[in-house]
């Protein structure tokens, strides 16, 4: 499908770090209705994906040509402690999106995660069997399953370690590291026993746009090229900031953070974009190139503070 200003795109859960990038990419080319329960940007309208009636009525009135569901509870510890909320948002929310897409005959986009795997293998392709360990992973895998069962006219994109959103919306690893640096930390404790594939929100949104236009429905691993440990990412981030000599990265095991990060996490979440590569639709850059670009936001903030 060709995405133009005549294409009406409804985005659910658009208030987060990925939502920022998706809104910016799609709003350039399409007519977008962006929604979330957290109205943290002026272009957002309130909508709760767990509320079927609200979702369906708003979609019916807007008459979108494409429905994108980004809504998710992604805090693993919160999901472990509030499993019903996790399943209602990540599972039922996607089931509601599927029903709306089915009733209105719309193509649908769902975002899944590398966290649906158990980490027993070093790498995972699109064809490997998920076996999630955490409530978060299980609820997101439910979203995959219900999408494939209910509505084949859909795209499922699996993300890895997300980076993007900047100072205000990045709730993940990069901004957590940055906040420690701003607070004056000269030593960072970072694990090297967890492996994954960084995923830049800007590339993810741009790739999503192009694949939706292709009409090649299906499930895709969609992460940046290359792989890394958390330690690798921290070291590279400091290098991008020019702080590699001022701040030490000390390797620790995951047990070091067992009280703070108690939800089970796979040892490896490394995805291979096998289907995208095979179909010559691999549009994601290397994670180091993406991190260099993304780090400019944080470097500018450091310069302002000096």
Q: What angle do CA 146, 148, 150 make, to 5 degrees?
A: 60
Residue 128, pLDDT > 90, answer: yes
Reported as a single tens digit per residue, the pLDDT across 40-72 is: 999 999 999 999 999 999 999 999 999 999 999
- 69 SS3 class: strand
Reported as a single tens digit per residue, the pLDDT across 227-277 is: 999 999 999 999 999 999 999 999 999 989 988 999 999 999 999 999 999
Q: Are 142 and 198 in contact (CB under 8 A)?
A: no
Nearest-CA neighbor of 24 among 194, 209, 191?
Answer: 209
Report CA-CA distances (Å) from 154 to 120, 145, 212, 215: 29, 12, 9, 9
pLDDT the model gives residue 303: 85
Q: What percent of the chain has pLDDT over 70?
A: 100
pLDDT the model gives residue 305: 79
* Eight-state DSSP code of residue 225: B
Each domain of the chain, given as residue ranges in start order, spans 8-166+197-227+266-285
- The β-bridge partners of 32 are 9
Residue 224: pLDDT band (50, 70, 90) is very high
Residue 115, pLDDT > 90, answer: yes
Tell me, yes or no, if the pTM score tops 0.85. Answer: yes
Q: Are 273 and 223 in contact (CB under 8 A)?
A: yes
Residue 304: pLDDT band (50, 70, 90) is confident
Backbone angles phi, psi at 162, to 5 degrees: -75, 135
Residue 306, pLDDT > 90, answer: no
Backbone region of residue 63 per phi and psi (left: phi > 0; alpha: psi in -120 to 50; beta: other values): left
Strands 195-196 and 228-229: antiparallel
| CATH tag, 8-166+197-227+266-285 | 3.40.50.720
- 171 SS3 class: coil
pLDDT the model gives residue 142: 98
Residue with tokens 């499993």: 83
Reported as a single tens digit per residue, the pLDDT across 81-96 is: 999 999 999 999 999 9
């Amino acid at each position: 499908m060709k995405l133009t200003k005549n294409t009406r795109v409804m985005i659910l859960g658009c208030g987060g770090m990925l939502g920022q990038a998706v809104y910016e990419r799609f709003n350039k080319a399409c007519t977008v209705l962006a929604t979330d329960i957290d109205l943290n940007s002026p272009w957002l309208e309130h909508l709760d994906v767990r509320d079927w009636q609200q979702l369906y009525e708003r979609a019916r009135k807007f008459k979108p040509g494409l429905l994108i569901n980004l809504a998710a509870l992604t805090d693993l510890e919160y999901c472990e402690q509030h499993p019903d909320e996790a399943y209602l948002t990540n599972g039922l929310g996607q089931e509601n999106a599927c029903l709306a897409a089915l009733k209105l005959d719309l193509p649908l986009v769902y975002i899944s995660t590398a966290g649906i795997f158990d980490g027993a293998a070093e790498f995972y392709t699109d064809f490997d069997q998920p076996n999630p360990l955490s409530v978060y992973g299980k609820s997101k895998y439910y979203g995959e399953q219900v999408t494939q069962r209910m509505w084949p006219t859909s795209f499922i994109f699996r993300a890895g370690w997300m980076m993007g959103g900047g100072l205000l919306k990045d709730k993940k690893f990069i901004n957590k590291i940055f906040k420690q640096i701003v607070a004056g930390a000269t030593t960072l404790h970072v694990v090297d026993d967890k492996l994954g594939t960084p995923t830049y929100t800007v590339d993810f949104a741009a790739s999503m746009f192009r694949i939706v236009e292709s009409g090649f429905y299906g499930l895709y691993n969609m992460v940046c090229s290359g792989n890394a440990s958390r330690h690798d990412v921290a070291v590279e981030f400091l290098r991008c900031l020019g702080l590699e000599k001022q701040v030490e990265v000390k390797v620790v095991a995951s047990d070091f953070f067992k009280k703070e990060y108690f939800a089970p996490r796979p040892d490896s979440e490394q995805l291979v974009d096998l289907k995208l590569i095979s179909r010559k639709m691999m549009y994601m850059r290397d994670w180091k190139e993406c991190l260099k670009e993304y780090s400019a936001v944080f470097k500018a903030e450091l310069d302002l503070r000096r």
